Amino acid sequence: MNLTHVEHIGIAVKNLDEAVKFYESVFGLECYGIEEVINQKVRTAFFKVGETKIELLEATDPESPIAKFVNKRGEGIHHLAFHVEGIERALEEAKEKGIKLIDEKPRDGAENMKIGFLHPKSTLGVLTEFCEEK
């Protein structure tokens, strides 16, 4: 598989608007987009730091995986996302190497990306995402 860079780091927050203000006032970053991802029951806000982005995630539903994460572990780093070339093949290759996948096939993510998650139980405890432009 061909990982090109860390595309983003996903951070689970309780209140997206407050978290955006925090990143803007403390780190001097500028939020360039807020987007709701219906199929993941989240609202996201994006910041650029060089080639890498910070993706803040707020649950829009108590059944959202982000709501469950925040209830169990509090706010914090939720996942690490690598940009890959050829996401379908990268997911297949991970599976061939015995990695448990959350997504066997890519699905739609924020920012017009195809995304797929690897299960943290088989990735040293880090929820890992692959993503690629559509």
Residues contacting 27, CB < 8 A, separation 6+: 47
Structure letter (DSSP) for residue 7: E
Please, which residue, 96 or 128, has the CB nearer to Zn ion?
Answer: 128
Please, which residue, 77 or 104, has the CB nearer to Zn ion?
Answer: 77
Least separation, in Å, of the C-beta of 11 and Zn ion?
10
Q: Where are the alpha helices (DSSP H) in 1-134?
A: 16-27, 65-73, 87-96
Structure letter (DSSP) for residue 106: -
Choose one: 7-15, 22-30, 84-92, 95-103; the region binding Zn ion (CB under 5 A): 7-15
Please, which residue, 79 or 96, has the CB nearer to Zn ion?
Answer: 79
Residue whose pair of structure tokens reads 């539903």 in the numeric block? 61
Show contacts with Zn ion in window 10-49 (CB under 5 A): 10
Retrieve residue 3's tokens.
Answer: 């990982």
Show contacts with Zn ion in window 44-103 (CB under 5 A): 81
- Binding-site ranges for Zn ion (CB under 5 A): 10, 81, 129
